[in-house]
Amino acid sequence: MNQPAHHWIRKLEESRKPAYLTIPDLIEEDLATGRLRPRDRLPGLRDLADLLSLNYTTVARAYAEARKRGLLDARAGSGTFVRGRTQTLPLAGGGSVEMSMNMPPEPPLLAARLRASAANLMERADPFQLLRYQDFGGTAADRAAGREWLRKRVPDCDVDNVLVCPGIHGALVALVSQLARPGEIICLDSLAYPGIKAIASQLGVRLQALPRDDEGPLPHAFEALCKTEKPGAFYCNPTLQNPSTLTLTRQRREALADVALRYNVPIIEDEPYGMLPFDAPATLAELAPELTYHVTGLSKTLGAGLRVAYLKAPTPRQTQRIAGALRATTVMPSPFTVLLATQWVNDGTASDVLEAIREEASARQAIASDELRGFAFDADPHGFHLWLPVPSMCDWSVPELALQLRNQGIGAVGGAAFSTDGNPPNALRLCLGGPQDREDCREALRRVADMIGDPHHLHMPML
Q: Tell whether the model's pLDDT for residue 34 goes beyond 80.
A: no
Structure confidence at residue 84 (pLDDT)? 52
pLDDT at 296 over 70: yes
Are 327 and 187 members of one domain? yes
Residues 192, 292 within the same domain: yes
3-class SS shares of the chain: helix, strand, coil, % to 5 = 45, 15, 40
Is pLDDT of 77 > 70? no
Residue 451 neighbours by CB under 8 Å, 6+ apart: 396, 401, 404, 405, 408
Q: Is the pLDDT of residue 255 over 90?
A: yes
- 237 with 371, same domain: the answer is no
Same domain, 126 and 139: no
Instruction: State mean pLDDT over 386-414.
Output: 85
* Mean predicted confidence (pLDDT) in 171-184: 96
pLDDT at 100: 85
Tell me the per-residue pLDDT of 346-362, one tens digit each, with 9 for 90 and over.
999 999 999 999 999 99
Same structural domain for residues 52 and 177? Answer: no
Render pLDDT for 130-149 as a digit per residue (tens, 0 to 9).
888 887 788 899 999 999 99
Name the helix (H) or strand (E) containing 187: strand 185-189
Confidence of residue 455 (pLDDT cuts 50, 70, 90): low
pLDDT for the residue 459: 41
What does the alpha-carbon distance between residue 217 and residue 238 come to, in Å, rounded to a whole number?
Answer: 10
Q: What is d(CA 111, CA 108) in angstroms, rounded to the nearest whole number?
A: 5
Q: What is the DSSP string of 281-325?
A: PPPHHHHSTTTEEEEEESTTTT-TT---EEEE-SSHHHHHHHHHH
- Residue 463: what pLDDT? 52
The pLDDT tens digits of the residues spanning 305-342 come to 999 999 999 999 999 999 999 988 888 889 999 999 99
Percent of the chain with pLDDT over 70: 93
Residues forming beta bridges with residue 217, ordered by sequence position: 212
Q: Is the dihedral of CA 377, 379, 381, 382 positive or negative?
A: negative
CATH code, 140: 3.40.640.10
Task: State whether 272 and 382 are in the same domain.
Answer: no
Domain that holds residue 50: 3-82
Q: Which residues face 187 on adjacent strands?
A: 208, 234
Residue ending a domain, choose from 329, 346, 363: 346
Which of the four pLDDT bands, split at 50, 70 and 90, describes residue 5? low
Does residue 213 sit in helix, strand or coil?
strand
pLDDT of 88 > 50? The answer is: no
CATH number of residue 10's parent domain:
1.10.10.10
Whether 340 and 416 map to the same domain: the answer is no
CA-CA distance, 386 to 361, in Å (whole number)? 11
Helix (H, G, I), strand (E, B) or coil at 165: strand
* CB neighbourhood size of 29 (10 A): 14
Overall average pLDDT of the 230-245 stretch = 96
Query: Of 346, 381, 410, at which residue does a domain stop?
Result: 346
Residue 117: per-residue pLDDT = 94
Amino acid (one-letter) located at 143:
R
Domain boundary among 305, 328, 346: 346
Same domain, 332 and 427: no
40-44, 186-190, 328-332: which has the highest mean pLDDT? Answer: 186-190
Same domain, 247 and 375: no
Question: pTM of the prediction?
Answer: 0.79
Give the pLDDT mean for 46-62: 91
Q: Which of the four pLDDT bands, split at 50, 70 and 90, describes residue 458?
A: very low
Q: Would you place residue 283 in the very low, low, confident or very high pLDDT band (cuts 50, 70, 90)?
A: very high
pLDDT at 85 > cutoff 60: no
CA-closest candidate to residue 306, choices 106, 124, 62, 133: 106
402 confidence band (pLDDT: 50, 70, 90): confident
Kindly write down the DSSP assignment for every residue of 206-230, as one continuous string.
EEEEEPEETTEE-HHHHHHHHHHS-
Residues 362 and 389 grouped into a single domain? yes
pLDDT exceeds 50 at position 267 = yes
Please report the pLDDT score of residue 457 as a whole number. Answer: 46
